[in-house]
Structures are given as C-alpha cells and as structure tokens.
Amino acid sequence: MDKMDKTIPVTRSSMPDFQEYMKEIRDIWDSKWLTNMGIKHQQFENQLLDYLGVPNVTLFNNGHYALESVLEAYGLMGEVITTPFTFSSTTHAIVRKGLKPVFCDIKFEDCTLDPDKIEALITDRTCAILPVHVYGNPCHIEAIEKLAKKHSLRVIYDAAHAFGVSYKGNGIGCYGDASMFSFHATKVFNTIEGGAVTYKESSLGPILDNVKNFGIKGPETVEYSGGNGKMNEFQAAMGICNLRHVESEIARRKIVSERYVAQLEGIEGIKLTKIKRDVNHNYSYFPVLFDGYKKSRDEVFEELCRNAIMTRKYFYPLTNRLACYKETYRSETTPVATYVADRVLTLPLYADLELEDVDRICGIIKN
C-alpha cells in the first residue's frame, strides 16, 4: 500500500495477542459466569491495587460512570471547582449529579487547573475541587490539596489520562480523596470500555459498590437506589491481558513522543509540553500548541487531514463553550483555557506508530 493511502488515526487501541485473550476468556466460557463481580473481576482488581500502588480501588464499566459514582458516593451538594479544558465527561458528571460546575482557569504550561485562581472561586457552597490530570500531566497537587484542607473541601481527580503516571514516587491515584481512571479503548491502558475509582478511605468502598450495583446487599436486601456500573468478566479479562504489556506500551509511546520532540522542538511558534520534575509520564497524548506559527492550528489540522493523518483538537471547544452549557457559563472567565483550546492540536500517538510516519507528519507540519 502506498504510504500516502494509509490513514493514520489519532490513536489506536492497544490489544494483547489474540491467542492470549482467548486463553484468558476460556474460564469465562466454561463457567458461564459473565459478570457481577466474578473471578476475573476480583483478580483484575487485586492486580490493579498492586500496579497503581493505591490503598483502595473499585472497578466500573466506564470512566464516566466511575466519576459520577464517586461524586454520588461522597453525597456532594453545591458547587464544584473544575476546569473547562477537558472532555465533556468531566463537566457532565458534575451537572448530572445535581452539582454546579464553577470553572477555574488553567496554567498555560501544563493545561491543568491554576491553583492561584482557585481560592477566589470558593464560596460557602463549594464542596469539592475536581481537577483533571490533562494529557497525563499531574496537576499542581500540593497547592490544590493545601487549599482543600484549609477550606475543608474534597479533592477528586479526573485521572482519565493518567494511568501509569507516578508523581514523587507515588502512583498518581494516591493523591486527593479519590481519583477516576478511564480504561476506554483510546487510552494507554484499556479494558475495551472500563474505569476505576481509587480512594484513600476504605469506608468509601461499600458506598461505591452500592452505587454501581443497585444497592444490592443480598438476594432479598437492597439498601440503596444505585445504578448499574459493573465491569463485566470480558472487560476484566482484557484488563488482565493488557496489564501484562502496559509497561512496554508506555516505553514504545515514549520512543514515539521523543521522535516528535526531536523533530519539532525549537521551531518558532510551536510549543511542546515539558514533563515536570518528579513525574514518570505515560505519554498518553502528544499535544502541540501552534502559538505564533506561520500556519494556524486549523490550517495544520486541515493539511494533515488532506494527507490522511487524523489529529484531534483535544480540548476544543472548552466545556463551558459546548452547546449544552454556553448559555449558562461564560468562557471569558477562563481566558488561558480559551487561548490554549484555540491553538492546540494532539498529534497521532500509539505504541506501534512507525517513526517514519512521525517524520512524515512532522515534515508536513514544517513545510
């Protein structure tokens, strides 16, 4: 096939070898136990505790439901300080749980919540801060948690992008009261669809179980009006397989990312994100800011598209500009987020992206 005929997607699901997955689901076939916290679910949950280095974890059918569930489990009411520079899920989860998102601006350098702008937004109705480790970049954890402590607020991280990231030697899920991880097909680590909540206090576990399994405590006992957020056995089996390969997945993504850096660093008008000190990154996305470049972000996007190279404007529009929110919220209050959203483009990144394709992508951008 001609190189030019090959479409390069923005990402591509990482999958185990077919036989490996077949072997893993063999027991499911034999037992006919397909869901409702079966053996694979238990096994995968234990493996995750270990891999993420967290005290507690609860699995879910997807990241979004996990995020809604943790907000519900804490019984939060009132306002939640959050970022508009994120996937719609973050804002939707807040709104769908009857809470009010209060949008705080982001830091230009890493696209995460600007801790210096949080305090001015705290009112007597604020109950929590919900920052996002955007692109796997850890938020300004110390500053955020200091503020939360001062004002007795919960900190719940949206860590959808941050699987495998560690900060100061700790798994990223160890910070705050709780964190939500997404295991969607497009993530560094996937269970097809899936997600998890990691948390400090073990007392949250039974409440999360209630939220995700109809509040069922026994065949004749239902103690809470929960929903259905259970991860099934096939998803857990995919997780078990993919967990075996996640380190090599991240290592290969690192090589691809470093090739991009080698090609694009130092070019006038192109800004790349620097990995912070004390961070082990997961190379989940490769965002590029076209800020004063000879071509605008949209021109680069279109030119790449003409060459069958699919990029995404993660995260444009900001969530406070989405059709469902723009009448209620104002993006003028988050000018840095607006600035970045208008200029950012995330380039293709996945483990088996060939380096010569990276060179071709960069060649198109440069010329």
Residue among 87 and 175 whose Cβ is closer to ligand T4K: 87
Query: Closest by alpha carbon to 179, among 208, 199, 194, 152?
Result: 199
Residue written as tokens 């990482």? Answer: 14
- Beta carbon of residue 292, minimum distance to ligand T4K (angstroms, whole number): 26
Specify the pairing of strand 79-82 against strand 100-103: parallel
287 binds ligand T4K, rule: CB under 6 A = no
Query: Closest by alpha carbon to 273, among 289, 260, 256, 253?
Result: 289
Number of Cβ within 10 Å of residue 152's Cβ equals 8
- Beta carbon of residue 332, minimum distance to ligand T4K (angstroms, whole number): 23
Near ligand T4K in 91-120, by CB under 6 A: none
CA dist 67 and 62 (Å) reads: 9
Stretch that binds ligand T4K, among 141-149, 306-314, 318-326, 336-344 (CB under 6 A): 306-314
CA dist 97 and 57 (Å) reads: 21
Q: Contacting ligand T4K (CB under 6 A), which of 16, 38, 63, 229? A: 63
- Beta carbon of residue 89, minimum distance to ligand T4K (angstroms, whole number): 4
Residue written as tokens 């949206």? Answer: 158
Stretch that binds ligand T4K, among 5-13, 43-51, 245-253, 300-308 (CB under 6 A): 5-13
87 binds ligand T4K, rule: CB under 6 A = yes
Q: Contacting ligand T4K (CB under 6 A), which of 184, 212, 281, 343? A: 184
61 binds ligand T4K, rule: CB under 6 A = no
- Facing residues of 290 across strands? 270
Residue among 136 and 171 whose Cβ is closer to ligand T4K: 136
- Beta carbon of residue 77, minimum distance to ligand T4K (angstroms, whole number): 22
Q: Contacting ligand T4K (CB under 6 A), which of 40, 64, 140, 297? A: 64
Which of helix, strand or coil describes residue 222?
strand
CA-based angle 302:308:309, to the nearest 5? 70
| Alpha helix segments (H runs only) across 227-326 | 233-264, 297-306
10 binds ligand T4K, rule: CB under 6 A = yes
Stretch that binds ligand T4K, among 85-93, 142-150, 244-252, 319-327 (CB under 6 A): 85-93
- Beta carbon of residue 355, minimum distance to ligand T4K (angstroms, whole number): 20
Stretch that binds ligand T4K, among 17-25, 62-70, 206-214, 262-270 (CB under 6 A): 62-70
Residues near 330 by beta carbon (within 8 Å), at least 6 away in sequence: 320
11 binds ligand T4K, rule: CB under 6 A = yes
| Nearest residue to ligand T4K on Cβ basis | 63
Q: Contacting ligand T4K (CB under 6 A), which of 121, 143, 185, 222? A: 185
- Beta carbon of residue 310, minimum distance to ligand T4K (angstroms, whole number): 6
Residue written as tokens 């993660």? Answer: 314
Query: Closest by alpha carbon to 41, among 55, 53, 54, 24?
Result: 24
Stretch that binds ligand T4K, among 50-58, 177-185, 233-241, 328-336 (CB under 6 A): 177-185
* Whole-Å CA distances, 337 to 84, 112, 342, 343: 7, 9, 9, 10
- Crossing angle (nearest 10°) for helices 233-264 and 355-366: 50
- Facing residues of 155 across strands? 129
Specify the pairing of strand 270-272 against strand 286-290: antiparallel
Applying CB under 6 A, which residues contact ligand T4K? 9-13, 62-64, 86-87, 89-90, 132, 158, 160-161, 182, 184-186, 195, 310, 312, 314
